[in-house]
Amino acid sequence: MKEKIGIGFLYITHDLATAHYSAEETAVMYRGRIVEWGDTRSILRNPQHPYTK
């Protein structure tokens, strides 16, 4: 949709498994701070922060 009609979305979830269906980039928050941010596939395949794991 971003390229077709110029719309972006902010998708908030506690289930990272669903993020890869709609997000190019993902930010993981822990205790009110972003602890990991980047390409959704990279984060799901190789999480770096213990909370993401």
- The reported pLDDT for the residue numbered 1 is 65
pTM equals 0.78
28-37 burial, b at 16+ Cβ within 10 Å, e below that, comes to beeeeeeebe
Q: Which pLDDT tens digit goes with each residue over 1-53? A: 677 888 888 889 998 888 888 888 999 999 999 999 999 999 999 999 999 98
- Of residues 39, 31, 41, 40, the one with CA closest to residue 50: 31
